[in-house]
Structures are given as C-alpha cells and as structure tokens.
Amino acid sequence: MNIHIGTSGWSYNHWEGVLYPPGTPPYERLSYYLPHFQTVELNSSFYRWPRLATFKSWRKRLPEGFLMTVKAPRGLTHAKKLYGPEKWLQTIQAGWHGLLDKRGILLVQLSPLMEYDYDRLAYFLDKIPWWMRTAVEFRHPSWHREEIFQLLEQHQTAYCIMSGAYLPCIFRTTAPFVYVRLHGPDHHHLYGGSYSDQDLSWWADRMREWQYQGKEVFAYFNNDGGGHAVRNAWKLKELVY
C-alpha cells in the first residue's frame, strides 16, 4: 500500500486513554503507536534536533516497512529563513543516515513571516541531496504562485497540501509523492476540532485518486488535542484500506 497515514508526533499527555494507558512513561508511548500506524511525522525535531544515536535507536525500534518523516529544525526555517543552509543540511543528513531504510520525508515548514523569495528557495533546493525526499509547507500566502510550483517540480520536491484554519487548501502535486498535513477542521483555530466521517471520506477519495495516478501519499493529522488526530487517522485508514 503506497498510502501512508499517521499523526504529527506520538507522545502527548492528553492521548492517555486514547492511544496508551494512563501513566505510560513517555519512552514507552512509541511502542503503543507502532501497532496502529506505519508512519509518523516527527515534530520535536523542529524544536531540538535529535542526536545521531537517537535516530539510530529509533531505527532499531521501528518495524519493517515503517517510515519516519522528520520536520526540519526551526533554526533553519524560522531563524535563518533558509539562509546559509549548508551547515544545517549536514546535520540533517547525519540523522537521515541514522534512519537508513526507515526514513520517510523531510518536511520543511517555512515561517509565516517568510515572504516570497524565489532565489533563496532555489538555492536551498539545489543544496538538498537527490536522495532526500523533501516537502515544503508554505505558511505565507505570497508563495502560492506558478513559478514556485514549477521550481518544486524541477527539484521533485512536494508542495505540502494543507488543511486548517486560515490556510489555503491547494491541490497541487509537484513530486512523485503527495504530502498532506491535516491541521484540523476548525475554521477559526488552527490544530482544532475533529474531522467528520464525511470529511474523511472525501479525503480518502482524493488519496485513492493520487494513488491511481501512481503517486505515493503521505498524510499526517496534526489536530492532536483530545486525541482527535489518533481517531481521525484510524478512521481514514479504515476508509482508504
């Protein structure tokens, strides 16, 4: 199956009683996640990039066929805004080598304060190794223009399709794979709410369409509050598979 469905992160106190029993130590939470999903989007890497030993440890714990997507560090995307990316990319590559066959996609979420800058994005994409599959999530509206979509296509980099409050949901595929982040259905609060079965059925249809086109699909729920992401991911898997 080339449709991968999971959640953004796996360790939340408010998932106790939903995904893992109350009182489960943080280290053991991943063990409860793995039987349910075959992919995850690592979000903690955005705040603090893990050590190489941590990536290697995850690789040993992840089952065969499991893919870990990793979010690029905010030092690169928000502090530097992609300026001078070489040092950061060296660090990212080291972690990527630690995951080996368990690596999924590198998610590069740009700052909502970073406006359109074609040359800077082009330079960054040129520096990414060909073997590192990458998706870019644009949070400032100035990026949504044809020349950016074409630039992504040239580099086989996925445009991140977003669902969430105040975010445009643009169905543009620019790589051999499709990357979707489902931030919640609440129209006024990002990361809020739970998708209805009707909403999820609609998304399942879109994913099967992409699959029919020969695309690999990665979809992650980021509406973690109240365990909504877990329940929505379970339901979408049921509808797709």
pLDDT in tens, 19-68: 999 999 999 999 999 999 999 999 999 999 999 999 999 999 999 999 99
pLDDT level of residue 1 (50, 70, 90 thresholds): low
Distance CA 27, CA 59 (A): 15
Mean pLDDT for the chain overall: 96
Check whether 238 has a pLDDT greater than 80: yes
pLDDT digits (tens, 9 = 90+) for 164-211: 999 999 999 999 999 999 999 998 999 999 999 999 999 999 999 999
**Token pair for residue 150?**
């074409």
Q: Which of 59, 69, 147 has its CA nearest to residue 108?
A: 69
Q: Which of 181, 142, 130, 126 has its CA nearest to residue 159?
A: 181
Instruction: Give the predicted TM-score (pTM) of the model.
Output: 0.97
Q: Which of 178, 185, 164 has its CA nearest to residue 232?
A: 185
- The answer to whether 234 and 7 are in contact (CB under 8 A) is no
Give the pLDDT confidence score for residue 233 in this predicted structure: 98
pLDDT digits (tens, 9 = 90+) for 91-142: 999 999 999 999 999 999 999 999 999 999 999 999 999 999 999 999 999 9
**Token pair for residue 132?**
């590192």
Distance CA 198, CA 24 (A): 33
Distance CA 19, CA 120 (A): 41
Q: How many Cβ atoms from other residues are within 10 Å of residue 147's Cβ?
A: 10
Q: How many Cβ atoms from other residues are within 10 Å of residue 196's Cβ?
A: 12
